[in-house]
Amino acid sequence: MPGDDTHWLLVDISNSFTKVALARPDRLLARRKLPTRSLDAESLRRAVRGWRFGRVILCSVVPERTRVIRALHGPQLLEVSHRIELGIGIDYPKPATIGADRLANAAAVAALHGTPAVVVDFGTAVTFDIVSGERGYIGGVIAPGLEVMTDYLYQRTALLPRIDLDEPVSAVGRSTREAMLAGAVIGYRGLVDHILREVKREIAPRGRLKVVATGGYAELIARRLPALRHVDPDLTLEGLRVIAGLNLPFEGRPAVRRQKEV
């Protein structure tokens, strides 16, 4: 429900889920989530029912669903891109190709944790976004998501089942499901750990590199991976809040929160 200039509606549209949050400049107030495939004008109205806000801040990686937000909130809308103030520089050959969610993550990690830093976002793909010690977005890594890998095994083999991801009981599976869990979860930790080691070697060989994980499987992978000490499921939304504070007229600055450690 529009009408309150002291509050913002934050919208993060990813491939699987859309997250919405009501926020003030200093913090998130409420959060809701709905499947992106069902996002339309009516489902969005239901999701934000009872909320009063003056402006809408959007990051989206699904153009078809972006149009829903533009149709409903066009005059109030601020869309994340490299063209607006992010609180960081962009040192990247084609900045227009950087996903809006990745820019939001980079803005959040720089504002809330400091730099140099890496955000590891466990979504449909797992993305690594790197901010240099000079607070510049310098690039990243994209790898298949954990669920994509396990679904591929199910779809392309005759006998392997679809599995729900959970912590494996052992590195040596005593059933097909246990063997698949060990390969997926333990193997994925190895992938993430090795990429982080290589990134640190390149951008912070003698200093500390701050690493923050977010996304659906962040807590599962971080549970036994020391490199992922900080997990923040709201990091992208926090990035939208930070960016809104830099671009919309309002007194006050984004606040630094203590992050959850695992």
SS (H, E, C) 166-197: CCCCCCCCCCHHHHHHHHHHHHHHHHHHHHHH
pLDDT at residue 4, rounded to an integer? 64
Domain residues for 29?
1-79
- Same structural domain for residues 25 and 66? yes
Distance CA 29, CA 138 (A): 32
Same domain, yes or no, for 115 and 20?
Answer: no
In a domain, 48, yes or no: yes
Same domain, 129 and 175: yes
Q: Is the pLDDT of residue 241 over 70?
A: yes
pLDDT digits (tens, 9 = 90+) for 155-166: 888 888 889 999
Mean pLDDT of 184-205: 95
Residue 39, domain CATH: 3.30.420.40
Single pTM value for the model: 0.90
Considering the domain architecture, whether residues 93 and 182 belong to the same structural domain is answered as: yes
Q: Which residues pair with 213 in a beta bridge?
A: 120, 231
Cβ atoms of 146 and 124 closer than 8 Å? no
- For residue range 99-153, what is the model confidence (pLDDT) as tens digits? 999 999 999 999 999 999 999 999 889 999 999 999 999 999 999 999 888 888 8
Residue 258 belongs to some domain of the structure: no
pLDDT tens for 52-107 read: 999 999 999 999 999 999 999 989 999 999 999 999 999 999 999 999 999 999 99
Using 50, 70 and 90 to split pLDDT, how confident is the model at 171? very high
Strand partners, 8: 23, 55
Domains identified in the chain, total number: 2
Residues 21 and 60 in one domain: yes
Q: Give the residue from 79, 108, 138 where a domain finishes.
A: 79
Q: Do residues 138 and 166 share a domain?
A: yes
Active-site residue set: 101
